[in-house]
Amino acid sequence: MFKKNHWPAPAKLNLFLHITGRLDNGYHSLQTNFQFLDYGDSLSFNINASSLIIVTPQVEGIEPEQNLIYRAALLLKPYAEKDAGVDINLCKILPMGAGLGGGSSDAATTLVALNHLWQTNLSNDKLAELGLSLGADVPIFIRGFAAFAQGVGEDLTPITPPEPWYLVIWPGVSVSTRDIFNLPQLPRNTPKITLAQLTTSILKNDCQEVTKNRHPEVAMALEWLIQYAPAKMTGTGSCVFGEFPSCADATVALEKLPKCMHGFIAKGVNISPLATTLAATKLIDAKT
């Protein structure tokens, strides 16, 4: 049975990632294609009138007040009723520092779900504005559609790439996005392309080589996966992904995965599972 207090926080893939410059504030301008996966974390929300925000379980190494889920709820609370409270439980399956956007997705799901459950009724534009203060990837999860992204990742244009099956490999290491973007050898001058040039341009991940050099486990995962499908890294890593025409084809490769690596199969989707859940929740509410 569908439960409206259970909400998905899907993974994303960067189908390519070009770094086109460095801004005065230290951030980087980029171009990328975001696509969602039908796989990710999930959160449950139990609304109450305690005025407290409680997130469980506590993430090891992160103070509760620094948890992106807590911070997202706190950002939304001024728009809710004075005594609005919530108990949030996270079911975490996406590895951290993997390039799948797990933390950003968790924050976006918190904003979208609580906007509905607390009946704050903020627009997607306002939610995306709040989300951007938490991280550059948060708005893509709030918007809920596959997109060609520019700027620091917040300038989004809807796209409809193919929706293949992916085998995603996590090589067992966590990669710091901040560390990768601070490396002097990171390419920062890839020429910008237009939306119309996506299908005719050579698309790559500008972070891939520097991450491979820093983390040999990523290089090993790519070397293994490319035997079975076109493969590249997502984000700053560490996950790599290969594209397959069917789940069966991806399963054949997964069954041969070395024991030192971890993998899962997921379908690329252009409408986020979070957006689908929100629409279904509103439909159920309208009927009750």
Would you please indicate which residues are annotated as catalytic (active-site) residues?
A: 12, 137
DSSP string for the chain: ---TTEEEEEEEEEEEEEEEEE-TTS-EEEEEEEEEEEEEEEEEEEEESS--EEEESPPTTS-GGG-HHHHHHHHHGGGS-TT-EEEEEEE--SPTTSSS-HHHHHHHHHHHHHHHHTT----HHHHHHHHHTT-TTHHHHHH-B-EEEETTTTEEEE------EEEEEE-S----HHHHHH-TTS---PPP--GGGTTTS---BTTHHHHHHH-HHHHHHHHHHTTTS-EEE-TTSS-EEEEESSHHHHHHHHTT--TTSEEEEEEEESB-HHHHHHHHHHHHHHH-
